[in-house]
Amino acid sequence: MKMFLTRIVLKLRNFQQWLVATLAFGFLNFLKIFPADPAIRFADRLARRVGPKLGRHKLMRVNLRNAYPEKTDEELEEIAIASWGHMGRLAAEYVFLDRLFDFDPERAEPGRVEVSGIPIFMDLRDNPRPFIVFTAHTGNFELLPVAGKAFGLEVTVMFRPPNNPYIADKVFEFRASRMGQLVPSHAGSSFALARRLDEGGGIGVLVDQKFRKGIKTTFFGNPVQTNPLVAKLVRQFDAEVYPARCIRLPNNRYRLEIEPKIEVPRDAAGKLDLQAMGQLLNDKVEAWVREYPEQWLWYHDRWHIKRYL
């Protein structure tokens, strides 16, 4: 009887995941009917209406209050609602990703996408060596590996698959055809990334995700655990480290930035300082978020506080 009930529960859960995936991709396919700009604006307006009614909105408000104790409730609510709008845009932009990246260095008039740091792209492409590009969930971060591939810069990208297996399969198929080699984040992902660096190539990682056991650091002045993977890979392969981000501009335009390599912190003996490296990554992401707070995904449980809500 117990095994029978377990099978029923698993089938119901599987059906629920299939239904959610079907509705999600049905909505995205609906957006394909329209040109990119009105579809993105529609998704923005819809997310601003629906998002505040979801349970995650409470988490967003707590995150924002902890990050900006000096701001009023009205100011925080404005950022939260704008963040929902950017999440809606991110979903819609996913549908039009191929059409959105239109950067052409030979074109006289600016297009939808502008790129800052082209010489760095070219140098990494033409002078192969181990390097790590790190970014955060700001703007449309999916455009960064698309840009790398467009410049002929092959980067192995680590990503966290969605928990829904039906969505995960579709997302992986979509990303793999546009972003080069992908490594799903799991127990063995670090070996795949290390192999790429050992071959003299580059990897790309997101560094602002929740991590339960890691380097003790702070983010917006609050304690967090930071994944030590980047620091350990830098220490092992003496890899260069480059910050990169996407910024949404008015009128559905984007600026992609890759910054000069950072000076990795070392201790008195000249060895890489793991704790200082983790803090350096957090400080860079915090600076990005403070510049455009509405473009970060505040619904992430970065400070591991959801358990207290």
Once rounded to an integer, what is the mean pLDDT over residues 81-110?
84
Task: Give pTM, 2 decimals.
Answer: 0.87
Q: Which pLDDT value is given to residue 166? A: 60
Pairwise pLDDT comparison (149 vs 84), residue with the higher score = 84
Once rounded to an integer, what is the mean pLDDT over residues 239-249?
96
Once rounded to an integer, what is the mean pLDDT over residues 279-308?
90
Q: For 242, phi and psi rounded to 5 degrees?
A: -125, 130
Q: State pLDDT tens for residues 72-87.
A: 999 999 999 999 999 9
According to DSSP, the residues that pair with 222 across neighbouring strands are 219
Pairwise pLDDT comparison (82 vs 21), residue with the higher score = 82
Per-residue tokens: 308: 């207290």
| C-alpha–C-alpha distance, residues 70 and 61, integer Å | 14
Q: State pLDDT tens for residues 278-290.
A: 999 999 999 999 9
Taking a C-beta distance cutoff of 8 angstroms, is the pair 134, 206 a contact? yes
